[in-house]
A and B are shown apart, each in its own frame.
Chain A
Amino acid sequence: MEFTRRDTLALGLGAAALAVLPISAYATTEAATLAFTGGADVAEGGVDLTAPEIAENGNTVPVSVAAPGAVAIMILATGNPDPNVVTFNFGALSASTAASTRIRLAGTQDVVAIAKMADGSFTKASKQVKVTIGGCGG
């Protein structure tokens, strides 16, 4: 339970940092979504998004996505200063439309995966990943 200000900021946990980050984001989740979808409707489901409920280390959070039939999957960290994380593009010869990566999360936030399907439709999944101080488990 001992946290210096420096440790806290390093972990991305500072109260001030936490409150300020989403507001100062220079690229919003909405803008990133719009750029990817071109304003098309985005349905729910059809994307498997696997991420921990509580990050073990906010600096490197494992995230996996899979969407059968997708041509591209975009991952957004909605609470980061820049929510854009990555867009995976899948060619016609892709063995599977799944990918894994690790992302840095500035604090507790929703991670969103949006899949572009072959027919041009879009679908998404969202999961809250908590970034916590921890340290008091029974």
Chain B
Amino acid sequence: MISRRDFLQVSMAASALVGASGFGNWGRLAAQQKLTQDQLLDFDTYGNVSLIHVTDIHGQLKPIHFREPSVNLGVGDAKGQMPHITGADFRKAYGIADGSPSAYALTYDDFSALAQGYGRVGGLDRMATVINSIRASRPDALLLDGGDTWHGSYTCYHTEGQDMVNVMNTLKPDAMTFHWEFTLGGDRVREIVQDLPFVALGQNVFDAEWDEPAEDFAPYKMFERGGVKIAVIGQAFPYMPIANPRWMFPEYSFGIRDENMQAMVDEVRGKGAELVVCLSHNGFDVDKKMAGRVTGLDVILSGHTHDALPEPVVVGDTIIIASGSNGKFVSRVDLDVRDGRMMGFRHKLIPVFSDVIEPDAEVTAVIDAQRAPYMDQLSEVIGQTDGLLYRRGNFNGTWDDLICDALISEREADISMSPGVRWGPSVLPGADITREDIFNVTSMTYGKAYRSEMTGEFIQVILEDVADNLFNTDPYYQQGGDMVRIGGMGYKIDVSKPQGERITEMTLLKTGELIDASKTYIVAGWASVNEGTEGPQIWDVVEDYIRKEGTVKVSENNSVKVVGT
């Protein structure tokens, strides 16, 4: 985190870096409890280049509710640093008033109450209005999509991403990079990419057999905007074949490959690039580390870890922009590029309040056309919830509590596991749960719910392994998800310890007994990365369970004890 005062102290090349955030504007307006589209979009156009960043939309065509995390721990150098600050501490860091629209958009407290007042967020037709407004003031602004776009909903699943492709094309992006897109399968990704009216980027997408850059993706693209030569270098999710099923795209290899990133920066600088932008799906901490290792990156547009930061984080001469997820925000970054270098920036994280921002009618029509064939399925009410269903948090969320309960109940298991993904909108207390809601938190191409036997020892190995993906102090060993969610079992985790020493006190909740390393337990879970996993689709398991329950009861989950923070 960097304060506004710090911005002024950062020097860049010979000239002072002038930074400003438009965030304060709507923060103040919030206190007056009136919010208009003009205020949300207000921006004093600056410099000669504008970047528009959207990322991690996860298939959300329509406005949704999305509660930000209460627990998002940083370890090592990231401890207590943005984006690892939540709630009141986050509001304090940015001077956000309690109960304000910004508090609602960026923090978790009082979410259900504030949602009643401020309504839904996102929707690609509202995003279109924001983008068009930026283009009205800067017609040649670059629109860059950080990926995780063609995944995450009922319609996206059933059209294999085509709904998102069709709608995104109406927004006319200039470039895109990727993560969950690859879980559509290598063939499907190539089929879509071949027809995209914009460039598909990934300097770290390699041919797995030859360990050479894959031909289907360009490492970068040069643009000329506002008289400035701009290079946009793509960085796809580095841990694609590890965090997601490798067998779905065996022809590709990924990795961070910061030596190749440096080579690409040098190459585009050699071609005369005056501004070098990295469109990244690394995750925030990985981007921060990369910014310190690769020289010559002016801007990193950061995706994957779903952080929404109202001000850029500055590392050396690089600014890192985090634009949230699920369609909730659009980032605008105006830059002053002169004499071959970035002299200053102005930035605004624009929250897409969908009741305030007028939808773009043309885009609404395209969205509705994608959904029309499926409306009966989407809108069917499966049950109700008595409390807020949300996903985000390092260790658990009420959506995954529900999914874990469903797995134990429907699959007759001792213990259940739900992957620590960060996508999936929230459902408010008292609301209906529709089939669309269930798909929003479960939709994927490898969603079968397995049931298998695991020893206590092996369960611990899994927990230790996943914990190290999250709490390794070196960001390059972090994969950017949250802890695997566990049902039916409690445990204690010391996040400050190394792998193999973090997890203790594993307890079977139904008996209160400690987990026996040599004993075998029935474990149900979903989203296995192994090929040939058998079982019903997770959304069917959850739907069956909710139908039986009628009204889902949400209770506090105290089964994970966290220390070492």
**Residues of A participating in the B interface, judged by any CB pair closer than 8 Å:** 1-5, 7-8, 13, 15, 50, 52-57, 62, 100, 108, 128, 130, 132-138
Q: Which of B421, B457, B529 has the most CB of A within 10 A?
A: B529
Take A2-B530, A4-B452, A132-B468 as given contacts and tell me if A137 and B242 are in contact as well, using a CB distance cutoff of 8 Å.
Answer: yes
Question: Which residues of chain B are within 8 angstroms of A138 by Cβ–Cβ distance?
Answer: 243, 283, 304-306, 420-423, 479-482
A132 CA to B259 CA, complexed, in Å: 23
Closest beta carbon of chain B to A74's beta carbon, Å: 21
* Residue ID in chain A nearest B465 by CB atoms: A133
The verdict on B466 contacting chain A, using a C-beta distance below 8 Å, is yes
A12 to B: closest C-beta gap in Å = 13
Residues of B near A55 (CB, < 8 A) are 242
Q: Are A2 and B479 in contact (CB under 8 A)?
A: no
* A136-B450 contact, Cβ under 8 Å, with A56-B253, A56-B255: no
A134 lies within 8 A of B528 (CB): no
Contact B476 A134, beta carbon cutoff 8 Å = no
Q: A3-B454, A132-B469, A133-B462 are in contact. List 13 more A-B contacts (CB 8 A).
A: A1-B528, A2-B450, A5-B458, A7-B530, A13-B461, A134-B243, A135-B243, A135-B529, A136-B479, A136-B527, A137-B179, A137-B242, A138-B304
Interface SS of chain A: helix, strand, loop or mixed? loop
A137 close to B476 (CB less than 8 A):
no
Chain A: which residue is nearest B419 at the CB level? Answer: A136
A–B pairs, 8, beta carbons within 8 Å: A56-B242, A132-B469, A134-B239, A134-B242, A135-B528, A136-B421, A137-B243, A138-B481
A100, B528: Cβ atoms under 8 Å? Answer: no
The CA-CA distance from A134 to B460 in the complex, in Å, is: 14
- What's the nearest-Cβ distance from chain A to residue B117, in Å? 29
Point out the residues of chain A lying under 8 angstroms from B134, CB to CB: none
Contact check, A53 vs B530: say whether CB atoms are below 8 A apart: no
Report A67 CB to chain B, min CB distance, Å. 15
> Cβ of B462: which chain A residues have Cβ within 8 Å of it?
1, 3, 133
Q: Are B253 and A136 in contact (CB under 8 A)?
A: no
Q: Which 5 A-B pairs have the closest CB atoms?
A: A137-B243, A134-B242, A138-B481, A138-B422, A2-B528
A64 CB to nearest B CB, Å: 9
Instruction: Kindly identify, within residues 507 to 563 of chain B, every residue whose CB is under 8 Å from any CB belonging to chain A.
Output: 525-530, 533
B480–A53 CB distance below 8 A: no
Q: Are B480 and A130 in contact (CB under 8 A)?
A: no
**What is the bound-complex CA distance between A18 and B153, given in angstroms?**
39
Binary interface profile of B, 235-248, with partner A (CB < 8 Å = 1, else 0)?
00111011110100
In the bound complex, residues from chain A placing their C-beta under 8 Å from that of B211 are 62, 100
Contact A54 B239, CB 8 Å, known A15-B458, A136-B420: yes
> Which residues of chain A have C-beta atoms less than 8 A from B499's C-beta?
108
Task: Say yes or no: is B484 at the interface (Cβ < 8 Å to chain A).
Answer: yes
Nearest-neighbour CB distance to chain B for A106, whole angstroms, equals 15
Q: Report the separation of the CA atoms of residues A3 and B453 in the bound assembly, to the nearest whole angstrom.
A: 9
B482: nearest chain-A partner, CB-CB: A138
Contact residues in A for B528 (Cβ distance below 8 Å): 1-2, 135
Q: Of A50, A54, A62, which is in contact with the most chain B CB atoms at under 10 Å from its CB?
A: A54
Is the Cβ of B484 less than 8 Å from the Cβ of A1? yes
- CB pair A137–B481 under 8 Å, yes or no, is yes
CA separation between A54 and B530, bound complex, in Å? 18
Is there a chain A Cβ closer than 8 Å to B198's Cβ? no
Distance, CA A115 to CA B477, complexed state (A) = 27
Contact between A137 and B239, CB atoms less than 8 A apart: yes
Nearest CB in chain B to that of A62: its residue: B211
B275 beta carbon closer than 8 Å to chain A: no
A66 to B268, CA, bound (A): 24
Query: Smallest distance from the beta carbon of A60 to chain B beta carbons, Å?
Result: 9
Of residues A15, A134, A138, which shows the largest number of chain B Cβ atoms within 10 Å of its Cβ? A138
Instruction: Flag whether B143 is at the interface (Cβ < 8 A).
Output: no
CB of B439 closer than 8 Å to a CB of A: no
Indicate if B417 sits at the interface (CB-CB under 8 A): yes
Contact, CB under 8 Å: B241 / A2: no
Task: Kindly state the separation between the CA atoms of A55 and B529 in the bound complex, as whole angstroms.
Answer: 15
Rounded to whole angstroms, the CA-CA distance of A138 and B183 in the bound complex is 13
The interface residues of chain B lying within 8 Å CB-to-CB of A3 are 454, 458, 462, 530
* Chain B residue at minimum C-beta to C-beta distance from A5: B458
Query: B479 — which chain A residues lie within 8 A by C-beta?
Result: 54, 134, 136-138
